[in-house]
């Protein structure tokens, strides 16, 4: 029976951030190298600029994927288009002309002109999405808005007038001047619209992104203006222009890195909050839909959660229970005879009262009180469950009385038959009637017994589910394994009761089917930890056991197989584990568990829980346990059927 092992994929976020920081460090180092060379037109400076531009693309993609605001996504796409086009423009305009191996490209006419034209064209998608964002915002009249609009329009008009005047006087440099002029106008438009969006979204997280765009394009405007001064021949400030561009790219890259990290953190926090909310809803649904009265109290005994059944039990509502009712101080209101178990519960002892009178109507309940523990092993809360067994107890009492009455009636009829032979025919008919009533009574008893086993199985499943909820809060693998072992023991007992109420024979269990189901459940529990070559076979044909024998046998199988599976998981060894059940003659049964690999004896540690449990169960069966380690390891338990 092969088992596929799964491995958890490691979190790659820290490695991604370290890689991005390393790339930023390389790009900044290239800038410092250019400073040392005193030449910002050199290849290292241009390569550093392109590295930072390319680095902005994955950072913007991260922001796009983690953006919770649908209106922000188009703005991020506009930035991605801007940096992508600027990168292509920079490669063909600045970098490749300095690489001798790429000189053949510039034999093609107008390559540099097309690359220069891409720079102002890169503004168009960004300007479009910003304009849409501005038009969809409702602004309140404000002097600041008018100042921003007036300043932006005035600056654009001034730049346009200066460019037009220069082009009129120097028509030969029309193309290059227009390129820088359009770039400056684009910077002013982006800066003005981002200022408006920043004011409109000042109380939202998105203000940081608009602030990054505002500062970046203001620096870009300064760099373009210095480049225009050089192109116009007014002053040679090329190095200052490149320094401004370098500062802008370093700023925008670092700012986008910090913003993307914050976006990722917000997504993780939102996901954790949703998972916590789902867990709380699960507990609330469990309380709401269970038919039993249940409540959860804190470490001081004050009730923090209760379902409607519990409120009806005490004759009040949620306001009268949650936050005000204390299971320790108000234990007399829970029911008669429950103060003692409540005191034991306060000491950390789980208690079950099988028949307690509680509630305003004095109904009978099976009351369970138990603590729950946190990951540190401290008591975190207390749980109380009240299962209404009034009808069940009444049915048992009625059945007992009916049985007694039937016995008395049979005795009376028998005496009457002995006294008279003349009414033999009538007496026989009456006796048949009495026997029919007896069969009906016994059938009702069978139904009730099946219901009892069914309820026991359901209660054990509830306990298993509660333990499973507790396991989800545990961090220590050792604590988790202890809870899992307890769950397996409870499942082995619940499986016996399930086999009984599903069978026609309420006194004996089909032990072969029970053993197969139990071993399969255990195997599934450990399948993620075992070697793929660990195989399990079960051979128990035609064996039926009394309930009092089946439960100890199931617990012994649970303890021994759990120990063997744990050792196989720890050692990683392959092998075959065989479970056989045979009648050995003279009214005895032999239960054998053999492991062809000797991974160590499960019962060889005196004082361990497994050894103590197996020893007590073997004594309960009045049987014997033998361990053979000659060829692998074999456990044999022999007892009377």
pLDDT at res. 458: 63
Domain membership of residue 400 (yes or no) is: no
Domain co-membership, 331 together with 420: no
Note whether 248 and 216 are within 8 A (CB): yes
* Strand (E) or helix (H) holding 549: helix 547-571
pLDDT at res. 174: 59
Domain co-membership, 221 together with 345: no
386/381 Cα distance (integer angstroms): 17
Contacts of residue 225, Cβ cutoff 8 Å, sequence gap at least 6: 184
Domain co-membership, 478 together with 522: no
Domain co-membership, 334 together with 374: yes
Helical H runs in 324-389?
A: 339-346
Q: Give CA 396 to chain center in angstroms.
A: 45
Domain membership of residue 3 (yes or no) is: no
Residue 473 is encoded by which pair of tokens? 């809060």
Host domain of residue 83:
13-272
Q: The domain that contains 551 carries what CATH number?
A: 3.30.565.10
Note whether 96 and 105 are within 8 A (CB): yes
Domain co-membership, 530 together with 417: no
Domain membership of residue 589 (yes or no) is: yes
Domain membership of residue 90 (yes or no) is: yes
Q: For the sheet containing 633-640, what is the strand order?
A: 534-539, 575-585, 588-595, 633-640, 624-628
Domain membership of residue 71 (yes or no) is: yes
Domain co-membership, 342 together with 219: no
Burial class (CB in 10 A: 0-12, 13-18, 19+), 519: buried
Identify how many contiguous H helices and E strands the chain contains and give both numbers.
18, 12
Domain co-membership, 118 together with 244: yes
Query: Of 384, 344, 342, which Cα lies nearest the Cα of 365?
Result: 384
pLDDT at res. 224: 75
pLDDT at res. 605: 62
Handedness of CA 251, 254, 260, 261 (dihedral sign): negative
Domain co-membership, 486 together with 513: no
523/535 Cα distance (integer angstroms): 9
Coil, strand, or helix at residue 591? strand
Domain membership of residue 19 (yes or no) is: yes
Residue 530 is encoded by which pair of tokens? 């075992």
Blockwise average pLDDT, block size 10, the chain, 641 residues = 35 47 49 44 48 69 76 85 80 62 57 78 88 76 52 55 51 62 81 84 80 86 76 68 75 78 70 78 80 89 88 85 88 83 87 80 85 85 88 84 83 73 65 68 52 58 69 69 70 67 67 84 76 79 82 86 82 84 85 83 66 86 88 89 80
Note whether 337 and 320 are within 8 A (CB): no
pLDDT at res. 193: 85
449/452 Cα distance (integer angstroms): 5
Query: Per-residue DSSP letters for 414-461?
Result: HHHHHH-STTHHHHHHHHHHHHHHHHHHHHHHHHHHHHHHHHHHHHHH
Residue 302 is classified by DSSP as: B
Q: Cα 223–224–227 angle (5° rounding)?
A: 90
Q: The domain that contains 307 carries what CATH number?
A: 3.30.450.20
Note whether 248 and 240 are within 8 A (CB): no
380/352 Cα distance (integer angstroms): 20
Q: Domain boundary at 388, 404, 434, which?
A: 388
CA distances from 376 to 80, 280, 487 (A): 48, 20, 20
Q: Domain boundary at 388, 403, 429, which?
A: 388
Domain membership of residue 325 (yes or no) is: yes
Domain membership of residue 617 (yes or no) is: yes
Q: Domain boundary at 225, 242, 272, which?
A: 272
What's the number of domains the chain is made of? 4
Domain co-membership, 371 together with 465: no
pLDDT at res. 6: 34
pLDDT at res. 628: 86
Domain co-membership, 547 together with 422: no
Domain co-membership, 625 together with 522: yes
Domain co-membership, 70 together with 117: yes
Query: Of 578, 605, 575, which Cα lies nearest the Cα of 591?
Result: 578
CA distances from 313 to 354, 357, 396 (A): 17, 11, 23
End-to-end CA distance of the chain: 32
């Amino acid at each position: 029976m092969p088992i596929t092992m799964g491995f958890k994929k490691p979190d790659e976020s820290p490695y991604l951030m370290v890689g991005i920081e390393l790339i930023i460090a390389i790009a900044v180092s290239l800038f410092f190298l250019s400073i040392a060379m005193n030449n910002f037109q050199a290849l290292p400076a241009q390569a550093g600029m392109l590295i930072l531009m390319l680095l902005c693309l994955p950072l913007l993609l991260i922001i796009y994927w983690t953006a919770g605001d649908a209106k922000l996504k188009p703005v991020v796409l506009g930035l991605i288009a801007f940096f992508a086009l600027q990168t292509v423009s920079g490669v063909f305009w600045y970098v490749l002309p300095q690489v001798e191996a790429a000189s053949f490209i510039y034999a093609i006419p107008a390559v540099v002109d097309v690359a220069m034209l891409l720079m102002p064209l890169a503004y168009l998608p960004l300007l479009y999405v910003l304009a849409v964002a501005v038009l969809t915002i409702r602004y309140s009249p404000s002097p600041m808005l008018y100042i921003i609009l007036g300043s932006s329009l005035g600056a654009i008009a001034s730049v346009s007038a200066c460019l037009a005047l220069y082009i009129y006087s120097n028509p030969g440099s029309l193309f290059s001047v227009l390129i820088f002029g359009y770039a400056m106008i684009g910077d002013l438009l982006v800066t003005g619209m981002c200022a408006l969006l920043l004011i409109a979204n000042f109380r939202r997280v998105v203000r940081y992104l608009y602030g990054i765009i505002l500062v970046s394009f203001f620096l870009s405007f300064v760099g373009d203006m210095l480049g225009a001064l050089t192109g116009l021949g007014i002053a040679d400030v090329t190095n200052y222009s490149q320094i401004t561009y370098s500062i802008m790219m370093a700023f925008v890259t670092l700012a986008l890195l910090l913003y993307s990290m914050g976006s990722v953190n917000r997504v993780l926090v939102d996901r954790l909050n949703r998972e916590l909310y789902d867990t709380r809803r699960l507990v609330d649904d469990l309380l709401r839909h269970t038919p039993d009265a249940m409540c959860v109290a804190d470490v001081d005994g004050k009730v923090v959660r209760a379902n409607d059944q519990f409120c009806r039990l005490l004759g009040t509502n949620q306001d009268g229970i949650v936050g005000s009712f204390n299971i320790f101080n108000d234990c007399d209101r829970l029911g008669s005879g429950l103060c003692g178990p409540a005191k034991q519960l306060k000491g950390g002892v789980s208690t079950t009262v099988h028949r307690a009178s509680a509630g305003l109507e004095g109904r009978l309940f099976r009351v369970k009180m138990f603590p729950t523990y946190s990951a540190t092993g401290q008591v975190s809360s207390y749980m109380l469950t009240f299962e209404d067994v009034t009808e069940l107890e009444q049915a048992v009492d009625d059945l007992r009385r009916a049985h007694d009455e039937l016995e008395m009636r049979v005795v009376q009829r028998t005496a009457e038959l002995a006294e008279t032979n003349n009414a033999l025919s009538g007496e026989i008919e009456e006796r048949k009637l009495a026997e029919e009533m007896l069969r009906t009574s016994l059938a009702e008893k069978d139904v009730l017994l099946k219901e009892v086993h069914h309820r026991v199985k359901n209660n054990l499943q509830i306990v298993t589910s509660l333990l499973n909820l507790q396991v989800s809060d545990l961090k220590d693998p050792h604590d988790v394994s202890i809870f899992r072992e307890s769950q397996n023991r409870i499942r082995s007992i619940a499986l016996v009761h399930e086999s009984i109420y599903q069978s026609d024979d309420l006194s004996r269990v089909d032990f072969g089917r029970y053993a197969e189901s139990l071993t399969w459940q255990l195997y599934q529990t450990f399948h993620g930890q075992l070697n793929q070559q660990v195989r399990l076979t079960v051979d128990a044909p035609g064996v039926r056991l009394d309930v009092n024998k089946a439960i100890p046998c199931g617990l012994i199988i649970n303890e021994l197989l759990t120990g063997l599976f744990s050792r196989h998981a720890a050692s990683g060894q392959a092998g075959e584990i065989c479970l056989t059940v045979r009648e050995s003659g003279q009214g005895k049964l032999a239960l054998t568990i053999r492991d062809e690999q000797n991974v160590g004896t499960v019962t060889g540690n005196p004082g361990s829980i497994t050894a103590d449990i197996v020893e007590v169960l073997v004594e309960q069966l009045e049987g014997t346990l033998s361990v053979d380690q000659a060829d692998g390891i074999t456990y044999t338990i022999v007892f009377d059927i």
